[in-house]
Structure 1
Amino acid sequence: MAQFIENLLIVLLSLLGLPALFAWILTLVNRQSKASLVDRYGMNSQVYLGCLGIIIHELSHLIMAVIFHHSIQSVRLLKLPHLNQANGADDDLALGYVNHNWRQASVYQNVGNLFIGVAPIFGCTASLLGLDALLYPGLAQAIFKLADHPFDPDWTGSWTALTTNFGGWWQLLLLLLLTILIVLGGFDLSPADYQNSSLGLTTMLILLTAMTVIFTIFKPYTVVFMKAVMSFGVTVAMILTYSLVVSVILMLVIKLLPQR
């Protein structure tokens, strides 16, 4: 029983807890950044500086909705927000949207709501990891070296890869610029995203608990299962930590910018 509880806590922390915590903090930080941009340079400035992230955000929702067989009603990957004070109509502050329906009786589609709601976190994480591998191979290799041995991280090998395998200055500058474009607009989960995720959370908790029970009972597979879970958790945590550092620095820089 003790081993099962330990395994379950690791599974829930790696697959749900850490991504949820980072998502919450990144949402708070990047909302502050966008609010400061809007205050200084107008509503459209948040779109200009976060356009790539917004597109990845909505595209992540769309891909997950298709995978879980939801009915897609309408899609807009990027749009400018606007106020309708002059004619009295409702404000339209959305930067993009994916409207979808699902069958309440389908367990698969209900579980899909969780993945659809949090999809931008993993979509942006995957995009950043891909950019790291392309523009700063040492950073991606450093992350993978830590994730490959979650029970005994290779800190020395990771540091060596980080400090010896990087591209030119223009590649690092491009990586920083693209990272800013992604983190500002991509990691901000809306209230609708959180609400959508909650619809599949209970079912997902049951499934993860059942999987943990099975892999704990069949001990030859326990280590393989737990290593895969922890490797995933370490990879996501490293990328999200990197994203959070960039987000915090960006927020501070924006707050120092002069008013238009």
Structure 2
Amino acid sequence: MKQLVINYGLVLGSLLGLPAVFAWLLTVVNRQTKSNLVTKFGINSQVYLGCLGIVIHETSHLIMALIFRHGIQSVRLLKLPHLNRRNGGDDDLALGYVNHTWSQHSFYQTIGNLFIGIAPIFGCTASLLGLDYLLFPGLAHAILKLAANPTRLAWTASWSVLTQQVGNWWQLLLLLLLTVLIVIGGFDLSPADYQNSALGLSSTIVVLVIFTTMITLLDVHAATVLQAITTFGLTMAIILSYSLIVSLLVMLITRFLRA
């Protein structure tokens, strides 16, 4: 029974808990960054500096909506917001959107709401890891090596890989620039994203609890599966941690910038 409770914590924490905590932190920080930009440089500045992240954000929603067979009504990966419409209607502050429909009678589509809502967290994380591979291979390899064994973190081996595979200065500068463009616009989950995620949260928890119970009680490669899940969660946490650090630095810089 004790092992079952531990496994529940590992699975739910790695797949739902960690992404949720970082999603909240990154949303708070990057909303403040956008507020700083809008106040000092106008409403469109948040699009110019967060364009790459916004496109990845909306593309992540779209891909997940297609995977979970939701009906796609309209898509716009990037748009400029405006405060007042010419016909006197409401403000349109959206930076992009994916409008989709789903069947309440489909358990699969219901679960999909959670993953569609939080898809930008995974999409932006994957994008950052891909950029690391292209522009700073040592960082990507160091992250994966550190997360490979969550119970015994290989700090020395990870640091060795990190320092031995450093790219050229222009690659590091480009990586920093692209990372900033992604974190500003990509990790900020909207109220609609949270509302959409809530629709599938309980169903997803039920599925994960059943899955964890089965592999624990039947002992069907439980150790291997759990290590893979915790490795995934730790990899996410490492990438999201440095994304949060970059976000905090950008927030502080934009706070003290002058228009």
Shorter chain as denominator, the TM-score bin is over 0.9
What residue is the counterpart of 2:200 in the other structure?
Answer: 200
Gaps of 5+ in 2: none
SS in 1 for 2:74: strand
SS in 2 for 1:75: strand
What residue is the counterpart of 2:176 in the other structure?
Answer: 176
Q: Which amino acid aligns with 2:157?
A: G
Q: Which amino acid aligns with 2:33?
A: S
Cα deviation digits, residues 109-152 of structure 1 (max 9, x gap):
00000000000000000000000011000100011101211221
SS in 2 for 1:69: coil
What residue is the counterpart of 2:110 in the other structure?
Answer: 110
Q: How does 1:6-21 map to 2 (within 5 A)?
A: 6-21=6-21
The percent identity for this pair of structures is 64
What residue is the counterpart of 1:125 in the other structure?
Answer: 125
SS in 2 for 1:111: helix
What residue is the counterpart of 1:229 in the other structure?
Answer: 229
SS in 2 for 1:91: coil
SS in 2 for 1:105: coil
What residue is the counterpart of 1:46 in the other structure?
Answer: 46
SS in 2 for 1:214: helix
1:146 aligns with 2:174: no
Q: Which amino acid aligns with 2:154?
A: D
Q: Residue 199 of structure 1: CA displacement? A: 0.5
CA–CA separation in structure 1 for the residues paired with 2:169 and 2:85: 47
Alignment RMSD:
0.9
Q: Please report the TM-score for the alignment, with normalisation by the length of structure 2.
A: 0.98
Instruction: List structure 1 segments (4+ residues) > 2 angstroms apart after TM superposition.
Output: 85-88
Q: Which amino acid aligns with 2:133?
A: A
Q: Residue 33 of structure 1: CA displacement? A: 0.2
CA–CA separation in structure 2 for the residues paired with 1:224 and 1:203: 25
1:157 aligns with 2:157: yes
Q: Which amino acid aligns with 1:78?
A: L
Equivalent residue pairs, number: 259
Gaps of 5+ in 1: none
Q: Residue 219 of structure 1: CA displacement? A: 2.3
Q: Which amino acid aligns with 2:40?
A: R
Q: Which amino acid aligns with 2:188?
A: D
Q: Which amino acid aligns with 2:34?
A: K
What residue is the counterpart of 1:91 in the other structure?
Answer: 91
Q: How does 1:29-44 map to 2 (within 5 A)?
A: 29-44=29-44
